[in-house]
Amino acid sequence: MPKRKVEKNSRPGRLRIVAGNWRSRLLQIAAVPGLRPTSARIRETLFNWLAPRINGSRCLDLCAGTGALGIEALSRGATHCVFVEKSVPAVATLRANIEALKASGTSVYAMDARDYLQQQGVEPFDIVFLDPPFAAGMLPELCRLLEHGTMLADNARVYVEEDRAAAACAYPASWKVLKTANAGKVRYSLVDTGTRAARTN
């Protein structure tokens, strides 16, 4: 089982919210093999990138794990976040964290991210957090499903985490990488997905 890195100012098995309404609140981390919570350092950089867009946004946290990305977004002013996670223990802990924060504007789905993205009639998202397990090799398929589905608003932003040691993901042609950085074993990027019209051409 991979070891979880304990963040500065956090306690074992817990993760600290960086900023916003719930700044410094601690989230429980489920004891799930391979669970890889996004570090405080990366979250701080990411939400600096998203600062002009986060307030009032509608977010989707795929392969949510701890839900740290979506909860951080809500803490900073996002209006709604949908969390999708297939691990039953992780979902239970995520729901407990949401309840402890008394967070509104949340929906939690205990299902595979690929199945969720094939649903119809879902209101489009402004921001998508895409952090699948590295070993699962799901990233290209998730990007393809997002590209060809109806869940992305015009010029939606997709945040991607991937294994720094692996080749970078080949994004759909209409997507444009805006920012990218490295931290430890992680390469993380922010992508503009273009307009819906461009994605369907």
**Structural domains in the chain, sorted by start:** 14-200 (3.40.50.150)
Model-level pTM greater than 0.85?
yes
Q: Which residue has the higher pLDDT, 5 or 69?
A: 69
The angle subtended at Cα 55 by Cα 139 and Cα 107, nearest 5°, is 55
CA-closest candidate to residue 7, choices 29, 34, 30, 32: 29
- Whole-number average pLDDT of the chain: 90
Tens of pLDDT along 82-107? Answer: 999 999 999 999 999 999 999 999 99
Average pLDDT over residues 158-172: 93
Residue 8 has pLDDT above 70, yes or no: no
Average pLDDT over residues 134-144: 89
The pLDDT of residue 135 is 76
Least confident of 15-19, 129-133, 195-199: 195-199
